[in-house]
Structure 1
Amino acid sequence: MATTVASRSSRAVRPGGRSARVRAAVHGAALELAAEGAAEALTIPTIAQRAGVHPTTVYRRWGTVAELLADVSASRFAGDLVVPDTGDLRADLDRYAAGLAKDLTDPDTLALVRATVGIGGEQGAAVCRSERENQLVAILERDRARGNEPPGIEETTDAILAPLYYRAVFTNFPLDPAWVHGLVERLLADQTSS
């Protein structure tokens, strides 16, 4: 009996094979359905059917649509933006914000963010936010290592991430380059006047 459990465990964690194919198919199906824009279609049975797997497989692995979208988002957003390192905080933040704005104007990315936040609630928002905050922390810490006093992560998040995500997710206003650059300028102007 112990051998069966151990062998089942080792199959569950191997990085390829059926498990990886199922994950890729289910992630792909969830992304497609989110991009199609029908929130009511984002159900486990519909996602499973699109992925070509049994709904039980999806329920067992993810439990809820919110958990599945959190996993899809975490996978999609992990490392998708290059954290710039120009040697200058202003240039790094400008490039970072411009890259994020470009990412958020992609219709598939925006659909995934909206679905993850809408269905996943607080957990979904945390997934969408965490990788971005980690990237900003890296930029700010590098500037601190150069002997400067950059703004804090909360202030930077409020000045750059919050308006970008709000405008992208909840409005139809464009994320044009001048507006994005203005976010960084206001953050750093506030920093020097403090």
Structure 2
Amino acid sequence: MVDASAQVRPGGRSAKVRAAVHRAVADLLADGPAEALTIPAVAARAGVHPTTVYRRWGSAAQLLSDVATSRFSGDVVVPDSGSLAGDLERWMADVATDLADPDTLALMRAAIGSGPEGGCACTADRHEQLRAIIERERSRGGEAPTVESAVDFLLGPLYYRAIFSAEPASGDWARGLVTTFLAASRALT
């Protein structure tokens, strides 16, 4: 007779391996350039065999995409201040703070540099958060811009500054983008 408890491993070895590999990626990015992040280096740092990493992720690009998706999912809370301006200002300041973190920035740059899926992994949750803010404003009966224009006008400059500038965006700068964006949106309607 087979013991049923021995067959079920919720959060068992697989979850431990994933956590160790994700931690190894973060550690390697903190220690050196993204180019040093290879499957064998990640496996050695995580204490697993490279085959385990290749079997689960296939490539360094897929691994970076998975780590970025995990890192950028649910880390910024969608505020509910009662107004579109208040929600966007607080959210943008929180995103700017998150993107100013050196470890976050290293992961984002490495993921984006690994291919198109890396960029999507870094921004998909942010798009959904913006969608939630804008849809909430519409449900209140307020006028709201399109999600696409909010992404282009708000996230575009924020991510550009984070990735390509030596000076990270401040919360005040990010809130200023919101003020300009909402004024321009009202002028166009």
Name the TM-score class by shorter chain.
Answer: over 0.9
Q: Secondary structure at the match of 2:45?
A: helix
- Aligned position for 2:147: 153
Q: Aligned partners of 1:77, 1:111: CA distance in 2, in Å?
A: 13
- Aligned position for 2:50: 55
- Aligned position for 1:20: 15
Contact 2:72 2:122 in 1 (8 A): yes
Q: Deviations over 1:39-65 (max 9, x none)?
A: 221100000000000000000000001
Matched, 1:41 2:36: yes
- Aligned position for 1:3: none
Q: CA RMSD in A?
A: 1.4
Q: Aligned partners of 1:100, 1:84: CA distance in 2, in Å?
A: 12
The two structures have a TM-score, normalised by structure 2, of 0.93
The two structures have a TM-score, normalised by structure 1, of 0.91
Q: 1:89 aligns with which of 84, 87, 99?
A: 84
Matched, 1:142 2:136: yes
Q: Deviations over 1:11-61 (max 9, x none)?
A: 6xx541111110000000001111223122110000000000000000000
Q: Deviations over 1:59-104 (max 9, x none)?
A: 0000001111111111111110010001100000000000000001
Q: 2:68 aligns with which of 73, 94, 99?
A: 73
Q: Aligned partners of 2:64, 2:82: CA distance in 1, in Å?
A: 36
Q: Aligned partners of 2:98, 2:62: CA distance in 1, in Å?
A: 23
Q: Aligned partners of 1:193, 1:66: CA distance in 2, in Å?
A: 42
- Aligned position for 2:102: 107
What is the CA distance between 1:135 and its match in structure 2?
Answer: 0.3
Contact 2:89 2:178 in 1 (8 A): yes
Q: 2:165 aligns with which of 154, 157, 171?
A: 171
Runs of 4+ in 1 over 4 A off after TM superposition: none
What is the CA distance between 1:179 and its match in structure 2?
Answer: 1.5
Percent identity over the alignment is 57
Stretch moving more, 55-64 or 27-36: 27-36
Gaps of 5+ in 1: 1-6
Q: Aligned partners of 1:152, 1:134: CA distance in 2, in Å?
A: 13
Aligned length: 183
Gaps of 5+ in 2: none
Q: Aligned partners of 2:35, 2:182: CA distance in 1, in Å?
A: 42
Stretch moving more, 164-173 or 35-44: 35-44
Q: Which amino acid aligns with 2:57?
A: W
Q: Aligned partners of 1:61, 1:113: CA distance in 2, in Å?
A: 21
